[in-house]
Amino acid sequence: MRRTKTLLLGDLLEEFFRRPYVAAKVAEGKLPETWRQVVGDRAADLTTELRLERRILYVRIQSSVLRSELFCQRDALRDALNRQAGMRLVNAVIVR
Protein backbone atom coordinates (compact mmCIF):
# COMPACT_ATOMS: atom_id res chain seq x y z
CA MET A 1 0.00 0.00 0.00
CA ARG A 2 1.35 3.40 -0.95
CA ARG A 3 0.30 6.87 0.04
CA THR A 4 2.40 8.89 -2.38
CA LYS A 5 1.85 7.22 -5.74
CA THR A 6 -1.30 5.34 -6.50
CA LEU A 7 -0.86 2.08 -8.41
CA LEU A 8 -3.58 0.66 -10.55
CA LEU A 9 -4.50 -2.98 -10.14
CA GLY A 10 -3.90 -3.58 -13.85
CA ASP A 11 -0.35 -2.27 -13.52
CA LEU A 12 0.31 -4.56 -10.57
CA LEU A 13 -1.03 -7.59 -12.44
CA GLU A 14 1.00 -6.73 -15.53
CA GLU A 15 4.16 -6.51 -13.43
CA PHE A 16 3.30 -9.82 -11.73
CA PHE A 17 2.75 -11.68 -15.02
CA ARG A 18 6.05 -10.35 -16.42
CA ARG A 19 8.04 -12.18 -13.76
CA PRO A 20 9.97 -14.99 -15.46
CA TYR A 21 8.58 -17.85 -13.37
CA VAL A 22 4.97 -16.69 -13.64
CA ALA A 23 5.28 -15.93 -17.36
CA ALA A 24 6.71 -19.42 -17.96
CA LYS A 25 3.84 -21.06 -16.07
CA VAL A 26 1.25 -19.03 -18.00
CA ALA A 27 2.92 -19.96 -21.31
CA GLU A 28 2.97 -23.61 -20.24
CA GLY A 29 -0.74 -23.45 -19.48
CA LYS A 30 -1.40 -22.03 -22.95
CA LEU A 31 0.70 -24.73 -24.63
CA PRO A 32 -2.26 -26.70 -26.10
CA GLU A 33 -3.65 -23.63 -27.86
CA THR A 34 -0.15 -22.56 -28.92
CA TRP A 35 0.40 -26.05 -30.36
CA ARG A 36 -2.87 -25.73 -32.33
CA GLN A 37 -1.79 -22.35 -33.72
CA VAL A 38 1.58 -23.71 -34.82
CA VAL A 39 0.58 -27.06 -36.36
CA GLY A 40 -3.01 -26.35 -37.39
CA ASP A 41 -6.36 -27.82 -36.44
CA ARG A 42 -6.05 -31.19 -38.18
CA ALA A 43 -2.65 -32.00 -36.68
CA ALA A 44 -3.80 -30.80 -33.26
CA ASP A 45 -6.82 -33.09 -33.49
CA LEU A 46 -4.49 -36.04 -34.14
CA THR A 47 -2.34 -35.16 -31.12
CA THR A 48 -3.18 -37.47 -28.23
CA GLU A 49 -0.57 -36.30 -25.72
CA LEU A 50 1.23 -33.02 -25.18
CA ARG A 51 3.50 -33.01 -22.14
CA LEU A 52 6.25 -30.57 -21.14
CA GLU A 53 8.91 -31.85 -18.74
CA ARG A 54 12.12 -29.94 -18.05
CA ARG A 55 11.60 -27.86 -21.20
CA ILE A 56 11.31 -30.98 -23.36
CA LEU A 57 7.99 -31.26 -25.17
CA TYR A 58 6.74 -34.82 -25.64
CA VAL A 59 4.15 -35.13 -28.39
CA ARG A 60 2.19 -38.28 -29.22
CA ILE A 61 0.56 -38.34 -32.67
CA GLN A 62 -2.00 -40.89 -33.93
CA SER A 63 -1.09 -40.69 -37.61
CA SER A 64 2.20 -42.27 -38.67
CA VAL A 65 2.45 -40.00 -41.73
CA LEU A 66 1.97 -36.86 -39.65
CA ARG A 67 4.34 -38.23 -37.00
CA SER A 68 7.09 -38.62 -39.63
CA GLU A 69 6.46 -35.14 -41.00
CA LEU A 70 6.58 -33.51 -37.57
CA PHE A 71 9.65 -35.56 -36.65
CA CYS A 72 11.50 -34.02 -39.58
CA GLN A 73 10.43 -30.53 -38.52
CA ARG A 74 11.29 -30.73 -34.80
CA ASP A 75 13.62 -27.73 -34.78
CA ALA A 76 11.17 -25.56 -36.71
CA LEU A 77 8.38 -26.60 -34.32
CA ARG A 78 10.53 -25.69 -31.31
CA ASP A 79 11.33 -22.29 -32.77
CA ALA A 80 7.71 -21.58 -33.71
CA LEU A 81 6.42 -22.60 -30.27
CA ASN A 82 8.98 -20.39 -28.54
CA ARG A 83 8.16 -17.48 -30.84
CA GLN A 84 4.41 -17.86 -30.15
CA ALA A 85 5.03 -18.11 -26.40
CA GLY A 86 7.28 -15.05 -26.45
CA MET A 87 9.95 -16.85 -24.44
CA ARG A 88 12.22 -19.87 -24.50
CA LEU A 89 9.68 -22.41 -23.30
CA VAL A 90 10.77 -25.52 -25.23
CA ASN A 91 14.34 -26.71 -25.72
CA ALA A 92 13.49 -29.88 -27.67
CA VAL A 93 10.50 -31.61 -29.23
CA ILE A 94 10.20 -35.39 -29.10
CA VAL A 95 7.56 -36.82 -31.42
CA ARG A 96 6.20 -40.30 -30.74
Would you state the pLDDT for residue 20?
Answer: 82
Predicted confidence (pLDDT) per residue in 53-76, tens digit: 999 999 999 999 999 999 999 999
Find out whether 61 and 70 touch, Cβ atoms under 8 Å.
yes
Q: What is the CATH number of the domain that holds 48?
A: 3.30.300
Domain range enclosing 62: 29-95
Contact predicate 49/60, CB 8 Å: yes
Q: What pLDDT score was predicted for residue 41?
A: 96
Task: Classify residue 52: in a domain, yes or no.
Answer: yes
Alpha-carbon gap, residue 64 to 84, rounded angstroms: 26
Closest to 59 measured CA to CA, from 94, 17, 18, 27:
94
Q: What percent of the chain has pLDDT over 70?
A: 97
Task: Give 66's contacts (C-beta < 8 A, 6+ positions apart).
Answer: 43, 46
Q: Is residue 57 part of a domain?
A: yes
Model pTM score? 0.81
What is the pLDDT of the chain when averaged over all its residues? 91
Asked whether residue 22 is assigned to any structural domain, the reply reads no
Residue at 35 is within a domain: yes
| Percentage, residues of the chain above pLDDT 90 | 69
Asked, for residue 16, whether it belongs to a domain, the answer is: no
